[in-house]
């Protein structure tokens, strides 16, 4: 297993600088952000322009990573393929196809995204919609030797009441999406606040994990007692602030990384464990963000065989 990180945490740092820093600080892989440059959502970046990448550009990216001894683990474009606006949905699907094309050119084994959700429809209606949409996407990827991986992020901020906005938050839904040819980009942090044991949930599905992310979480049980599982209801100016938990870099939260890495190893996973840095404490500027990545590396590197 190799240790990497998702480049979206440093959106303003060019990919050549990120690659050099990663190699100098003990990382061996990058999950490269590939959102469209026009996007304005938080935790996104455009370190690879999938919509304009040609063979020459792909060779430059591959040479850059090879120069620093790095693996490209995935292209990251986490958006809503079930968006309620038909025009926006079409834009998401078009960019997903461009990311798949770019992954094939540059040698990335996976493209990461979400199942998503139409918040005005039931779960059953959304699943039926997804069953019509995703087989074409996974077939397109398969023809190019690329796997589409779905992060089990809840995306509660996409739902007006803080309910799941990405229908991949539980093992029940993982089994459903595997039937569509999708794979799992496993992130334990989301399971913790959902009340799911992240190690027990992972164990039966390691063979379906094509990519894994490392993000930790810190919960406040007293605040949960006040707000309940969905989080703040009366005063919630930020749709992403539930009021009772927050993400942390690995080592500063509640995930048992020793047991989790051991479960991945025992199940035969030998891919990349990619740090997804969304820690509000170790963010705010480049130095603090890089310090957060250092904390994550010091936590995880000793657990990885080889």
The answer to whether residue 223 sits within a structural domain is: no
Longest dimension (CA), the chain: 56
| pLDDT tens profile 203-257 | 999 999 999 999 999 999 999 999 999 999 998 999 999 999 999 999 999 999 9
pLDDT of residue 12: 95
pLDDT for position 119: 96
**Other beta carbons less than 10 A from residue 120's beta carbon:** 10
CA dihedral 64, 277, 14, 24 (to 10 degrees): -50
pLDDT reading at 125 higher than 80: yes
Nearest Cα neighbor of 141 from 96, 89, 88 is 96
Under the banding of pLDDT at 50, 70 and 90, the label for residue 37 is confident
131 in Cβ contact with 198 (< 8 Å): no
Q: Is residue 245 part of a domain?
A: no
**pLDDT tens-digit readout, 185-200:** 999 999 999 999 999 9
H/E segment holding residue 177? helix 171-178
Are the beta carbons of 300 and 214 closer than 8 angstroms? yes
Name the one residue in this structure whose structure tokens are 């990180």. 5
Which tokens in the block code for residue 251? 């080592």
Question: Is the model's pLDDT at 40 over the cut of 70?
Answer: no
Identify whether 68 is part of a domain.
yes
Residue 66's pLDDT is 98
pLDDT for the residue 216: 98
Write down the pLDDT at residue 305: 80
- Asked if the structure places residue 234 within a domain, the reply is no
Between CA 151 and CA 76 the distance in angstroms is 10
**Could you tell me if residue 292 is inside a domain?**
yes
pLDDT at residue 306 greater than cutoff 70:
no
pLDDT mean over 101-130: 98
**Percentage, residues of the chain above pLDDT 70:** 98
Q: What is the CATH number of the domain that holds 147?
A: 3.20.20.150
**Domain for residue 224, yes or no?**
no
Structural domain harbouring 268: 2-215+253-303
Distance CA 250, CA 188 (A): 11
Q: Considering the chain, what is the average pLDDT of its residues? A: 96
CA 115 to chain centre: 12
Q: Model confidence over 67-77: pLDDT tens digits?
A: 999 999 999 99
Determine, yes or no, domain membership for 221: no
- How many domains does the structure of the chain reveal? 1
Could you give the percent of the chain with pLDDT greater than 90?
96
Question: Is 18 a domain residue?
Answer: yes
């Amino acid at each position: 297993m190799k240790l990497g990180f998702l480049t979206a945490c440093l959106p303003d740092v060019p990919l050549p600088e990120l690659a050099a820093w990663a190699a100098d600080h003990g990382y061996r892989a990058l999950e490269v952000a590939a959102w469209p440059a026009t996007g304005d959502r938080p935790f996104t970046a455009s370190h690879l322009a999938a919509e304009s990448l040609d063979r020459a550009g792909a060779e430059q990216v591959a040479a850059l990573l090879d120069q620093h001894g790095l693996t490209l683990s995935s292209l990251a474009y986490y958006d809503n393929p079930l968006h309620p606006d038909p025009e926006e949905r079409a834009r998401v699907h078009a960019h997903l196809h461009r990311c798949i094309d770019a992954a094939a050119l540059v040698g990335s084994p996976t493209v990461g995204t979400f199942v998503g959700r139409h918040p005005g429809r039931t779960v059953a209606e959304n699943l039926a919609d997804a069953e019509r949409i995703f087989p074409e996407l996974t077939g397109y990827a398969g023809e190019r030797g690329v796997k589409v991986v779905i992060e089990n992020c809840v995306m509660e901020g996409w739902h007006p009441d803080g309910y799941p906005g990405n229908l991949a938050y539980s093992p029940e839904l993982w089994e459903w999406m595997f039937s569509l040819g999708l794979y799992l980009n496993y992130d334990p942090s989301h399971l913790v606040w959902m009340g799911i044991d992240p190690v027990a949930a992972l164990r039966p599905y390691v063979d379906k994990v094509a990519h894994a992310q490392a993000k930790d979480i810190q919960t406040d049980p007293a605040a949960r007692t006040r707000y309940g599982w969905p989080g703040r209801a009366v005063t919630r100016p930020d749709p992403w602030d539930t009021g009772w938990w927050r993400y942390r870099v690995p080592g500063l939260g509640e995930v048992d990384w020793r047991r989790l890495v051991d479960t991945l190893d025992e199940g035969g996973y030998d891919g990349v464990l990619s740090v997804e840095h969304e820690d509000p404490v170790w963010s705010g500027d480049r130095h603090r963000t890089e310090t957060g990545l250092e904390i994550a590396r010091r936590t995880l590197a000793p657990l990885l065989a080889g």
